[in-house]
Structures are given as structure tokens and as C-alpha cells.
Structure 1
Amino acid sequence: MSIRNHKDLMGILKTGQVVARIRDLMKKEAKPGVSTYDLDQMAKQCFEMYGAKSAPMFDYQFPGYTCISINHEIAHGIPKKETILRFGDLVNIDVSATLNGYYADTGISFVIGNTNNNLSRLCDTAVDCTGKAIQEATTGNPLRMIGKSIHQVAKANGFTVIKNLAGHGTGKKLHEEPEVLVYEEKRDRRRLSEGLVLAIESFVSTKSEFAVTGHDGWTLTTKDKSFVAQCEHTVIVSSKGAIVATQ
């Protein structure tokens, strides 16, 4: 969607604050011995407290309030009682919500206990990729520059990107046009318009460039067991620089 008025702006910002708070709480509580189901139940309570609904559950009947992916899982991991966090685990938490008809989407990858320097560097690179991409989300800028910046930062740090996963438009539905690639498609001539709402996300990989769907029909992984880190923010395109709703 594109922001048309003050109500739209406030709607996106309020939903963005909700998912950001839930994301940060889940990250804080992600400790050894805690199950991904426990984390997801914390999110459930927060959704109810804020009067929001889980977007993947509401839009797609996803079997969890949030997506929690561990180690070689990339995204869309299903929270489970039997999945217990351990020191050194690579964790991705993806939180999206709908509130009063507006959507926002955010995610972060991190290492439990920061015990693996290479995985921590992978996560830091994902944050840097998304941060650099957000700087490109200005009115009139080519859409492809977002993907170009993500790919360039990943390569500069010795990593690659998952090319069949992407960011997306959002706002009135969880997933809207346009698709926001994590690499540059030079044939794409589209330019960013004022007020466009985007979920900009990086998928930074230690080796593999493609994701595959697991046996459960939801969880995305890599065939070669590469590790992947993600960082995602919902932003509003502006001539004065992107407005980050999920900071």
C-alpha cells in the first residue's frame, strides 16, 4: 500500500511498534532451555494485550503466532514444545501483525550466548545489509537499488544471499507488491513512490543461494546445511529518507 493520509501513517507506525516490541521481548527471553513454543506463547499474550492478530496465522493459517527458525532453518519455522534452545544456536524470530486493518512485519537473527563468532558476524552482516538497503528507500530511487545494496554488503563480508527469497510490499495485507529482491535485477526499471510501504529484509548465507521447503510444508532450509541470517524492517518510502516503523 501507499500512505494516503495521517490515519494510514499512524496505523502503520502503531502496528510497527507492536511487532517491534514483541520481537525484542522474544529475543530477550530466548535463552538455553526455553522452547520455541514458549517464546511463541509469549507473543500470543502480547498480541492479545495490544489487540493485534498474528498476520501469518490470520492470513495463511500458519501453525504458530510467529515464525521461529533454528540453525539450518532459514524462515517459517514452526514453534514446537520439543524444540529447546541451546547455547550456540542460530535463531531467527519473525513477527508480523495486523492491527486495525494495518500490517507490519519484522525479523531478526541472533546467536544464543554469542558463542560462535562466525555466526554472530553473519547476523551482524544481515543487520548491516538491511540498514544499507533502508537508506536506498527514498522517493524516486530505483527499486533495484535496495537489492543491490543488500548483495554488495553481503559479498563484501564474504557471504552470499538467498536469491529465491525476498522482501515485499505490505500495509493492507501481509504480502503485497512489489517484490523486493535481495540482489539487483538490472532489467527492473521501477522507481519508488512517495509513501510506499515495504518490508525490507536481507537473507545472508554462508554459502547456499537457494532455499527449499521442508517436509512440513512451511519451514525453509538450505540443501547444503548453510547457515542463513535475516533482518527485516517495515519502512515507509519518503523523499526525506525512509521512515522505519519497526525500529
Structure 2
Amino acid sequence: MTITNQDELEGMEVIGRIVARTMAAMAKAMEPGMTTRELDNIGRRFLERADAVSAPQSTYDFPGATCISVNEEIAHGIPGDRIIAEGDLVNIDVSASKNGYFADTGASFRVGKVAPHLDRLCKDGKRAMQIGIAEARSGKPLSGIGNAIGRFASRRGYTLIRNLASHGVGRALHEDPGEIATWPTKGDRRRIGKGLVLTVEPFLSMGGLWANGGPDGWTLFSEPAAPVVQYEHTVIATDRGARIVTLP
């Protein structure tokens, strides 16, 4: 989607706040001993109260209102009977629509005290996202997002999952300009148009390179097996830089 007027901007800001507040409410409520289904139900109720519709459910018939991935699960985890424990690394991904506008956000959260290397990974994962967002300015190359993130990851000794990309969003969960690499690429000559709505969501890892599907047909795992974190915002490209709409 490309923003062309104030109504479209306001529509994106409304749904952006809703998904951000939903994720924040889920993160605040999360505690050891609860199941991922119980956590998902908190998100479901929050979306319903805001008259918003879960995007993975409406778009793909996903069996949950939100995606919740724990430890070895890196994305698209199905909420269920898994019990969240002290020391877990939990990724919450919330996407939804309202009045025809879609927004998408996600983050990885530490449950209680985690191993020092995971604490560092989380902090650097958030930083990688911020570095990518800084490249989302109108007129700049789309490949600049992944190239900047790649330089940061390389300096810090990390790898990036190379088949889970950022994407256009706005009037649908996934739309033009299609996949946007969050890893270094060559040959992508696309440029960022003014008003373009997109996600920035690198998957930073301590050795993982690819996301592979598991037996449930949804949940993704790192190959090679390694810790992975993801942080994501929906942003609008402007002449002054990225305008983040998924802030609570």
C-alpha cells in the first residue's frame, strides 16, 4: 500500500496502535505456568474489544488469533497446550485488520532470567530492526534495509534467517512490493516510494540460516538449529525517514 491521503494515514495509525497494544498486553500478562493458548486468548479478547480481526486467521485460516513461538520455534507457532517456563524465549507476532487496513508487529520476550547469550541476542535483535527501519526512507533502495542489517549482524557475529522476509502491508497482510530481504542481497534495483507501507522484521540468529516447516504445517524452525529472535514494526516511508505506526 502507498499512503496518498490523510484518511489512509489515520486508518493505518488506528490499526497500528491496536496491534501494538495487543502485543504489549500479552507480554505484560505472560508468566511461567501459563499455556500459549491462554496467552493467545488474551490477545484474541483485546482484538475483539477493539473491533479488529486477526489477520492470520482471516487471511490464512491460521489456528490462533496470534502467532506464539517458544524457544526452538522461530515463527508461526500455533497457540496450544505448551506451558511457558522460566528462562524461555517467546516470540509474539500480532497482525490484524480494521476498516480495511492491516498492520503487523512482533517481538521476542524473555521469561524471567535467561542465559546471558540470549539476553544479548534480544538486545541486538531489536537493534537490527532499528537499523533496518533507519533505511526505510523514500527514494532509497529497498535492498539498503537488508544490506544495513547484514553489516550489523556480521560485525556482531550473527547470522540472518534468509527465507523469512519483510513485506508490503496495508490493504492486505502481504502485498506489493512483495518480499523485502532483511539480509544482504545484490541485483534488487527497486526503490522505496514515498508513502510505501512495509514491515521491517529481521530474524537474527546465532547460527541459523533458514526457516524450515515442522509437522504441524505451520510452525517454523531454524536450520541449522540455533537461537533466533525477531522484532518487527510496520512503517510508512517518508522523505524524513520511517514513520512507525505500530507503537502503543
TM range (shorter): over 0.9
Q: CA deviation at 1:34?
A: 1.2
Match for residue 137 of structure 1?
136
Question: TM-score with structure 2 length normalisation?
Answer: 0.97
Match for residue 33 of structure 1?
33
Match for residue 175 of structure 1?
174
Write the mapping of 1:99-114 to structure 2, written as runs, cut at 5 A.
99-114=98-113
Deviations 1:24-50 (A, max 9, x none): 111111111111101100011111110
Match for residue 189 of structure 2?
189
SS, match of residue 211 in structure 1 = strand
State the alpha-carbon separation in 1 of the partners of residues 210 and 98 from structure 2: 33
Match for residue 206 of structure 1?
206
State the alpha-carbon separation in 2 of the partners of residues 240 and 121 from structure 1: 31
State the alpha-carbon separation in 2 of the partners of residues 37 and 219 from structure 1: 15
State the alpha-carbon separation in 2 of the partners of residues 69 and 151 from structure 1: 24
Query: Does 2:73 match 1:58?
Result: no
* Contact 1:193 1:237 survives alignment (8 Å): yes
State the alpha-carbon separation in 1 of the partners of residues 190 and 241 from structure 2: 18
State the alpha-carbon separation in 2 of the partners of residues 25 and 141 from structure 1: 35
State the alpha-carbon separation in 1 of the partners of residues 141 and 23 from structure 2: 30
State the alpha-carbon separation in 1 of the partners of residues 22 and 64 from structure 2: 14
State how many pairs are aligned.
246
Deviations 1:130-171 (A, max 9, x none): 101111111100000001111222222221100111010000
Match for residue 243 of structure 1?
243
* Contact 1:110 1:120 survives alignment (8 Å): no
State the alpha-carbon separation in 1 of the partners of residues 148 and 180 from structure 2: 12
* Contact 1:53 1:99 survives alignment (8 Å): yes
Question: TM-score with structure 1 length normalisation?
Answer: 0.97
**Identity across the alignment (%):** 47
Query: Does 2:233 match 1:233?
Result: yes
Q: CA deviation at 1:115?
A: 2.2
State the alpha-carbon separation in 2 of the partners of residues 177 and 197 from structure 1: 9
Match for residue 121 of structure 1?
120
The letter for the 2-side match of 1:241 is: G
Write the mapping of 1:40-55 to structure 2, written as runs, cut at 5 A.
40-55=40-55
* Contact 1:125 1:153 survives alignment (8 Å): no
Q: CA deviation at 1:84?
A: 0.6
SS, match of residue 94 in structure 2 = strand
The letter for the 1-side match of 2:233 is: H
Structure 1 ranges of 4+ moved more than 4 A: none
State the alpha-carbon separation in 2 of the partners of residues 55 and 137 from structure 1: 24
Match for residue 151 of structure 1?
150
State the alpha-carbon separation in 1 of the partners of residues 162 and 98 from structure 2: 31
Unaligned segments of structure 2, at least 5 residues: none
* Contact 1:126 1:154 survives alignment (8 Å): no
Q: CA deviation at 1:177?
A: 2.1
Q: CA deviation at 1:124?
A: 1.1
The letter for the 2-side match of 1:45 is: R
* Contact 2:210 2:224 survives alignment (8 Å): no
SS, match of residue 114 in structure 1 = coil
Q: CA deviation at 1:175?
A: 0.6
Match for residue 22 of structure 2?
22
State the alpha-carbon separation in 1 of the partners of residues 104 and 158 from structure 2: 24
State the alpha-carbon separation in 1 of the partners of residues 155 and 29 from structure 2: 32
Unaligned segments of structure 1, at least 5 residues: none
